[in-house]
Structure 1
Amino acid sequence: MRRNSLLLLLCLLLTTLCQAQSDQVDKPAAGNRYMGQIELGYLYGKVHYASQNTDVSAASPTVQVFNGYRLGRGFVVGASVGFDFYDDIMVTPVALGVRGEVLDARVSPTYSLDAGYGSTFLSDESEEQKLGGGWLFNPAVGLRVRTAESGSAFSFNIGYKTQRVSSQSNWWNNYIEQKINYRRLSLRMGFIF
């Protein structure tokens, strides 16, 4: 009796494993759960020059790559890395973020929220100037337009990005330390895969 019970348990276990493998072939979990996004755009804002007491409009390019895990249609958790160009400073933001879609339709409103740290290790520094990174925060809303049933889509979004940077300069024996808060309107378009 005990031997028959073990044999029956082994048969049930094998059929369960075979069924799980056939389900994975029909619907690959990685294809349904992974979300990747590449975005290109511009950061628009004003730059204040204290020496001339003027504000000048500025537009700087931005590139961002997001990789995430889809917990549901309306919620994706992941991380992003990118490049933001402010004046003569290049910031490399690394952030944790969430993404989501409001509707399960071909065209849907979307939302995103990223928070993390922007490093300046790739920015050009001179002996007279040292740069440091800082915290970033970037909420955005937009639209997603599907191109295929596989989940690939185009995205368009508008957001507000806050990035902190520090600068330490030593010019002609004058030591200047600045804490800079970049506050920019972000306009991006991208591709979701």
Structure 2
Amino acid sequence: MKTFTYLVVLFSLSSNLVQAQKEPDKASRWRTTVEMGIQAGRVRPDPSDAYNYYGNYIYLPNYYNYSSIRPAGNRIGLTIHTFVGYTLRPQLITGLALGVDYYNNSAFIPLAAAIQGDIFGHTKRLTTFYTLESGYAIAGPNPHDSELKGGWLWSPGVGLRINKGNGTGFLISAGYKHQEARQVASVDGVQVLSQIEDRSYNRLFFRMGFSF
């Protein structure tokens, strides 16, 4: 009786194994990409054109003697980027992008809605793709502490994916990123009299990474 039971169990396991081998592997509809790289841009000198205010009253520029401390020059910073998306159709993925971007000595943590799509509409060993992102970034570690606030961002880009099979691949991408921010600097120590500076960071990015 035990022998018969063992044979039944063995036959069942064998049948399941054969059936699993016959069924094709279904690729996951979720895709995650992780990239790291640099972002670079030319920075213009910091002009003294911010408006000072006292309470609800706005005064003209130079009401308080504010001197520029940020010179012109080329800037290169680190960028770390992660995208988690769901495949709506074979050539279109939508999801969320997050990471860390460094602008000079200030870091921002972006969170954006994003889409990725194959440019030529079909998957091959080498796939060219585009990306579009729009969202908001909060200020991370920076020398201005809580005076620096984040802002709206948007970023288009293109890339090349080397498909390795099973949904994995190696990525190379490049594009443009626009990041807004605001600094409210206290003049009198309690921010009753303050200097408001609106910033716009414009950078070209170059990243490399992998997808799975």
| Bin for the TM-score computed over the shorter chain | 0.7 to 0.9
Which among 22, 39, 43 is matched to residue 39 of structure 2? 43
Tell me what 1:180 maps to.
Answer: 199
**What number of residue pairs does the alignment pair up?**
167
Higher RCO by CA contacts (8 Å cutoff, separation 6 or greater): 2
Select the structure that is richer in helix.
1
After superposition, the CA RMSD in angstroms is 2.4
What is the TM-score of this pair, normalised by structure 2?
Answer: 0.71
Is 1:119 aligned with 2:138? yes
Select the structure that is richer in strand.
1
Gaps of 5+ in 2: 1-18, 47-67
Tell me what 1:151 maps to.
Answer: 167
**What is the CA–CA distance in structure 2 between the aligned matches of 1:140 and 1:26, rounded to whole Å?**
37
Shift of 1:54: 5.3
Gaps of 5+ in 1: 1-21
- The structure with the larger Rg is 2
AA aligned opposite 1:185: L
Is 1:81 aligned with 2:90? no
Distance change >3 Å, CA 35–CA 108, structure 1 → 2: same
Shift of 1:49: 2.3
What is the TM-score of this pair, normalised by structure 1?
Answer: 0.77
Distance change >3 Å, CA 27–CA 82, structure 1 → 2: farther
1:57-89 deviations in Å (ceiling 9; x for gaps): 011000011111011221000001100011121
AA aligned opposite 2:127: S
CA contact (8 A) 2:105 2:143 kept: no
AA aligned opposite 2:134: A
